[in-house]
Amino acid sequence: MRASVLAAAALLCAAPLAAQQPPESAIPWLSDSLSSPRTIPAPDEPAATPLTGTDVTVMPLGQTRRDAVGLLSSRLTGLPRDAFAGSDPSRLARLIADQPTDALPAMQDMVLMLLLAELDPPRAAADPDALFFARVDGLLRFGALDQAQALLERAGATDPQAFRRWWDTSLLTGFDTRACDAMTANPGVAPTLPARIFCLTRTGDWAAAALTLDTGRALGAITQAEDDLLAHFLDPEMFEGMPPPIPPRPMTPLAFRLLDGIGETPSISGLPLAFAVADLRPTTGWKSQIEAAERLTRARALDVNRLLALYTEGRPSASGGVWDRAAAIQRLDTAIMARDAGTVAVALPPAVARMDEAGLLVAFADLYGEALSKLPIPPPAANLALRVGLLSPAYEKIVAPLADTTGVSTDARIAFAVAVALGDMTGVASDDPLERAIADGFTGTPPDHLTRLAEGERLGEALLEAALLLADRAEADPQDIADALAFLRSVGLTDIARRTALQLLLS
């Protein structure tokens, strides 16, 4: 025990005592868990000679740049390997940072695909990791922590910038012990005092953690806010009956875990999406798990089957909100499994209404669209089942039997959507501005500036710009809607164009 305490004190004394700078990232909540590297040369170090002319990036032969690392091969994405090759990494980083977290599901899926794609890195990159970190930060902002963690682990996360992100993801996904083991085994990442103390407790060495905190106070290496939070975490009984420590702003994963450890788990409702992942732990209440899963499903960061598993986990104990959705899904799910078309016709309208209110209708269609199409559901629920089917990935297969059928629906919007799904806009006319914009997108020519980008090995950049044209969903400018759909169609992403149009029309 004495040896471990002395070792902890020695590590603290060796750490830099200068004020820590916030991490350089588009993500403001990243923990300041690592000591900032020294950027001022020591007196005996020669000053660096600045380069002139063109920037040159040097790397060992055969080494794979992290910008090129991905989880989805070109065979899976259908994207050419040079989709980013001609782009400026800083421009790509801005476009990624500008993507909304509440985009149309089809656009969100496309952006996530770009962030996870295995593509050639930009040739103009002065920093070989610039696009890699922009992609990781984009995943973190969307709450896609499992994907970000996998990308970091595949690319290697031993340097401070990558490790900071991997560390925070691990804290929120529940792998804090593994993160601490990695931090201990990699002294080059230089953890800060709160991170050291937290990791000492993960190994059970609470005495060393307490001594490290005391030493930090004596050396002035800790702020008052950090002191309060760590002291409560190390000895919560000492503060019994006293107000809990004030949560920091912005909340960080490390602070979240410390507050969670003293029984003051912050509500995730006002926190960034990434924190919702922490509420998926089985130790969290059922209602909180469902709410977290709904947030992440809306952002397309969570498999919808995980949400279904939570909806059907038990019997709702109350009514309203989450409980109404869970009850409606349970009734419909039971009826579909029993292949009882009459009961499905009764259970479908309230389930659609509840999921539509929560912005989860496309996720609902992912689950049930194809299954509903295989049941002889009587009207008027049959029209509702068709709407759900049109929003599902199987939309084309579902409407194929309707190709030669006239009077498919008494609902003009559904009839228009069927034409979109069939890919045949011949003779389709409408006075509705949204429908006219969609028709123009499937019959008109793409905008020149996006076409030029795609032809200049900047297809990924063009797709990110097209996604931003649709950031306002059905409220977007009609010309922007037409341009985005025409471009997606022109580069062979017809399925994405159709799914986008169907979601604009029906969700």
pLDDT of 183 reads: 85
Alpha carbon distance 222, 57 (integer Å): 38
| Closest C-alpha to 20, from 164, 179, 234, 129 | 164
How far apart, in whole angstroms, are the C-alpha atoms of residue 123 and residue 450? 20
Two structure tokens written together for 380: 């008027």
What pLDDT sits at residue 404?
57
Residue ranges per domain, the chain? Answer: 1-6+25-33+65-301, 322-393, 433-506
Overall average pLDDT of the 280-303 stretch: 95
pLDDT, residue 35, reads 58
DSSP 402: G
Separation of first and last alpha carbons in the chain: 61
Note the Cα 182 to chain centre separation in Å: 24
- Beta-bridged to residue 191, according to DSSP, are 34
More confident residue, 349 or 248: 349
Whether the CB-CB separation of 351 and 332 falls below 8 Å is answered with yes
Amino acid at 467: A
> Is 102 within 8 Å of 295 (Cβ atoms)?
no
Give pLDDT, residue 280. Answer: 95
- Over residues 9-19, the pLDDT tens digits come to 444 444 433 33
Burial zone of 17 (CB within 10 Å; 0-12 exposed, 13-18 middle, 19+ buried): middle
CB of 212 within 8 A of CB of 12? Answer: yes
d(CA 333, CA 235): 47
Neighbours of 356 (CB within 10 A): 15
Is the pTM for the entire model greater than 0.85?
A: yes
- Mean residue pLDDT of the chain comes to 87
**Helix crossing, 160-173 with 130-141: angle to 10°?**
20
Q: What is the DSSP string of 178-223?
A: HHHHHHHH-GGG-B-HHHHHHHHHHTT-HHHHHHHHHHHHHHT-S-
